[in-house]
Amino acid sequence: MSRPTVNDIAREAGVSLATVDRVLNARPGVRDKTIFAVNEAIARLGYIRDMAAANLARSRRYRMAVFLPDGGGQFVQTVAAAMEEAAQQAAATRTEMTLIRYPAGDTHSLAALLAGVDPDEVAGVALMAPETPVLRDAVRALRHRAVPVVALASDLPNAGCDHFVGIDSRAAGRTAGVLMGRFLGNRPQRVAVLAETMLLRDAIERRRGFDEVMLADFATVDVLPTLETHGATEALRRGLAEVLSSTEIGGIYLLGSGHRALTAALEGMGLLGRVVVIGHELTLHSRSALQSGHIHAVIAQNPGHLARSTLRVLRAKADRAPIDEGQEQLRIDIVIRENLPD
């Protein structure tokens, strides 16, 4: 009636407790035939290992290290906060987290930090960083020392991470594209595209997805080249003014962050609310811009989910346990004023 225990398995398989234990924990010294018999019994009884008791017995603690760029925009701040919160929750499952900031963009520093990670101390590493050769090697080295590594928000496809927690940037860009097209009403229009920098893989992928959709489904819309602002509000204003001097604009696609600077610039030009603005990531600024109608849609990933998923995945990897793909898949959230979460 109650859940079967290791003792039941031992009895059912006709072996001793020690052998069941060896099989369960993949310890050596068991014949294949016996391993099979034990697994057979496990399947027959529908045994589910009680991870709570297991971890208790191990008196194991999972110490995870999360690396985030230190400057970072609002989004990084949001993720950091979500991480802290998730960590507090995860404490109940013997999982701890250390948040480590590295100089934004300085992947050499980050690589050095990663090289200093002690596999006996740290059960897993998560990092949000642009992909560079140095970093790729550092990740490889880490994994070689049997430390699970997951990429956060921005994928590192060639570094061989164990997992990527985040959304598909290209699909996110496509989603932004469809919304832009539909919100514009498929009339002949021009759309400006703004980005702080095109160095990050994410921005490039988003732009790709956006263009794909616009080209295929909204041919009457003319998408202008990306205007890089390098984080400078003044550059944004000037660039935007220049574009506007030569042509009319129906919509603006904000590839990365910078909601605040954009709304400021638009306000100065008296364009607030008169052009369709679509951006990425839900931050304090984009929230209020959505609320006041200055931005019309934001494509986002839930930072809370991102954080919890990160810790869960790292823990699963540390346990060499399978991960629940369904639960870990991050949704591409479309946020408008009406479905803004509290």
Query: Footprint of DNA on this chain (CB under 7 A)?
Result: 2-3, 5-7, 14-19, 21-22, 24-25, 28-31, 33-34, 47, 49-50, 53-54, 56-59
Among DNA, its own copies, none, what does residue 31 contact (CB within 5–8 Å per kind)?
DNA
Nearest one of 293, 186, 298 to 253, comparing CA atoms: 298
Among DNA, its own copies, none, what does residue 58 contact (CB within 5–8 Å per kind)?
DNA
Residue 2 binds to its own copies (criterion: CB under 8 A): yes
Among its own copies, DNA, none, what does residue 19 contact (CB within 5–8 Å per kind)?
DNA
**Nearest distance in Å: CB 91, its own copies:** 5
SS3 state at 98: strand
What is the bridge-based pairing of β-strands 62-69 and 124-127? parallel
Among its own copies, DNA, none, what does residue 24 contact (CB within 5–8 Å per kind)?
DNA
Residue 320 binds to its own copies (criterion: CB under 8 A): no
Among its own copies, DNA, none, what does residue 34 contact (CB within 5–8 Å per kind)?
DNA
The tokens for 90 are: 């995860």
Cβ burial, residue 252 (10 Å; 0-12/13-18/19+): buried
**Nearest distance in Å: CB 1, its own copies:** 10
Among its own copies, DNA, none, what does residue 178 contact (CB within 5–8 Å per kind)?
its own copies
Stretch of residues binding its own copies (CB under 8 A), selected from 26-34, 36-44, 85-93, 111-119:
85-93
Could you give the count of Cα atoms lying within 13 Å of 160 in the half-sphere of its Cβ?
A: 12
> Which residues share a beta bridge with 280?
299
- Range 11-15, long-range pairs (CB < 8 A, 24+ positions): 12/41, 12/44, 12/45, 13/37, 13/38, 13/40, 13/41
Residue 85 binds to its own copies (criterion: CB under 8 A): yes
Q: Between residues 55 and 233, which has the closer beta carbon with respect to its own copies?
A: 55
Among its own copies, DNA, none, what does residue 324 contact (CB within 5–8 Å per kind)?
its own copies
Residue 25 binds to its own copies (criterion: CB under 8 A): no
Which DSSP state fits 127? E
Q: Are 305 and 312 in contact, with CB atoms under 8 Å apart?
A: no
Type of residue at 213:
V
Nearest one of 177, 196, 174, 163 to 75, comparing CA atoms: 196
Q: Between residues 81 and 241, which has the closer beta carbon with respect to its own copies?
A: 81
Among its own copies, DNA, none, what does residue 18 contact (CB within 5–8 Å per kind)?
DNA
Stretch of residues binding its own copies (CB under 8 A), selected from 131-139, 168-176, 195-203, 245-253:
168-176
Q: Between residues 50 and 324, which has the closer beta carbon with respect to DNA?
A: 50
Phi (first) and psi of residue 183, to 5 degrees: -70, -30
CA distances from 53 to 5, 39, 50, 56 (A): 11, 20, 6, 5
Residue 189 binds to its own copies (criterion: CB under 8 A): no
Q: Are 243 and 217 in contact, with CB atoms under 8 Å apart?
A: no
SS3 state at 176: helix
The tokens for 223 are: 């998408």
Residue 55 binds to its own copies (criterion: CB under 8 A): yes
- Angle 54-60-63 from CA coordinates, rounded to 5°: 135
Which DSSP state fits 186? T
**Nearest distance in Å: CB 101, its own copies:** 23
Q: How far apart are CA 225 and CA 230, in angstroms?
A: 15
Residue 50 binds to its own copies (criterion: CB under 8 A): yes
Interface residues with its own copies (CB under 8 A)?
2-3, 48-53, 55-56, 61, 85, 89, 91-94, 171-172, 174-175, 177-179, 182-183, 185-187, 213, 296, 299, 302, 304, 308, 324, 326-327, 329, 331-339, 341-342
